[in-house]
Amino acid sequence: MNIPAHLKYTKDHEWVSVDGDIATVGITDFAQKELGDIVYVEVETLDQTLEKDEVFGTVEAVKTVSDLFLPVSGEIIEFNDSLERTPENVNTDPYGDGWMIKVKIADASQLDELLDSEAYKNLIGA
């Protein structure tokens, strides 16, 4: 199980990478394995400002559809549109080419509420 130490995590299995006031968000290796083959990623919240824990999109696998929850409040400023052509990147490279959105962080203190890699490992029993 790949759980990079430099990322932050949510209890809903999203990961967060922070660069200044921009957060890149995707789903974890654990989440993509649980979902199975990803066939579609939908984000209709581009250019919208959402609160922490609001649904920013959905990920569709062969057998299920799951909501994606925003880990920090902010404006969705970018969607990884390559996922429209190759949604399987979420499976093959969840922390790289499989990233989903970029968010302009509204409240950086919310980052402190996220899990570090050790806490996330404990959450999933890794």
| Cβ atoms 65, 44 nearer than 8 A | no
pTM for the complete prediction?
A: 0.95
pLDDT in tens, the chain (126 residues): 899 999 999 999 999 999 999 999 999 999 999 999 999 999 999 999 999 999 999 999 998 999 999 999 999 999 999 999 999 999 999 999 999 999 999 999 999 999 999 999 999 998
| Cβ atoms 8, 16 nearer than 8 A | yes
| 103 CA to centre of own chain | 11
| Integer Cα distance of 7 and 5 in angstroms | 6
